[in-house]
Structure 1
Amino acid sequence: MYYVNREQLELRLQCIPSIAQVMREIQASWDHKMVQGLAQERALHLAIETVTDVGSYLIDGFIMRDASSYEDIIEINAQEQVFPKELTPVLLDLVRLRRPLVQEYFQWTSRELHPMLAILPDVLEQFDVSVRQYLVQELGA
């Protein structure tokens, strides 16, 4: 029997629609100003943390192999078919942004629109749907 913390998963999954919406709004009204640059950084950071938190909860709950890195979290969930394989490269690219955003933030170019903003909203929404389907498939309603 698995113990999957569905409450914590749900709290994190509920963030995805807002993150996706903000990403779309930033992209639609991009003006190269610092405020939007910082909003973009925060949206990307929240997307990374949400995806990796969800992935970690699934790894722990379903007793998958231990992850050694953020990329490993994505790869393990991909191997377990939590989400469609075509999401894997995009999610890997997303988590690779964590270090530049969190540790090397002083080098981040805030006044440029990051190219991932164009595809991430749809990817995050697909991730959300896929995780929910995976939970139903593995645990039932």
Structure 2
Amino acid sequence: MYYVNREQIAQRLRSVPDVAGALRTLAFEWNGTLLQGLAQERALHLAIEIVTDVGSCLIDGFIMRDASSYEDIVEITGGEGVFPEALKETLLALVRLRKALVQDYYDWPRAELHPLTAQISEGLPAFKEAVESYLERELA
């Protein structure tokens, strides 16, 4: 029997529409202002945290192999069929941004629209739906 903290997962997934919407707006209305640059950084960072927090909850709850990195969280959950293979590369590219956003933030090119901004605005809702379907399938 598994103990999956569904409420903790749901709580994080409830942030997806806001974060995805912000990324979508930034992608379509980008003009490179400092405020937009900072908003993009934060929205990408939140997207990373959602994916890794939810992934960690799934790994712990379903007793999957231990993750050694943020990329490993995506690899493990993807390998377990939590989300479609087509989404895996996008999520891996996203989590690879974490160091740049959190540790090397002083070098982040704030005036540029990051290519993942538009991709994640679509990928994050797909991740949410896939996780919810996975939970229904595995815990039914």
What is residue 85 of structure 1 aligned with on the other side? 85
Return the offset for 1:122. 1.1
Matching of residue 95 in structure 1 with residue 95 in structure 2: yes
How many angstroms apart in 2 are the aligned matches of 1:32 and 1:75? 33
1:30 deviates by 1.0
Deviation at 1:119, TM superposition (A): 1.1
Read off the aligned partner of 2:123 and give its amino acid letter. Answer: V
Q: TM-score, normalised by structure 1?
A: 0.98
Paired with 2:17 and 2:36, the residues of 1 have a C-alpha distance of 19
> What is the CA distance between 1:57 and its match in structure 2?
0.1
Runs of 4+ more than 6 Å apart: none
3-state SS of paired residue (1:113) = coil
- Give the Cα separation in 2 of the matches to 1:87 and 1:127: 8
Structure 2 Cα separation of the partners of residues 25 and 118 of structure 1: 9
Aligned: 1:15 with 2:30: no
User: 1:49: which partner in 2?
Assistant: 49
RMSD: 0.5
Q: Which amino acid aligns with 2:119?
A: I
* Further displaced range: 24-33 or 71-80: 24-33
Q: CA deviation at 1:50?
A: 0.3
Q: Which runs of 5+ in 1 are unaligned?
A: none
| SS in structure 1 at match of 2:89 | helix
Q: Among the aligned pairs, what percent are the same residue?
A: 58
When structure 1 is superposed on structure 2, of 27-36 and 52-61 the one drifting more is 27-36
Which secondary structure does the structure 1 equivalent of 2:57 belong to? helix
* Structure 2 residue 38 is matched with structure 1 residue 38: yes
- Provide TM-score, normalisation by structure 2: 0.99
Query: Where does residue 26 of structure 1 map in the other structure?
Result: 26
Residue correspondences, number: 140
Q: Cα offset for 1:85? A: 0.4
Pairwise CA distance, 1:28? 1.6
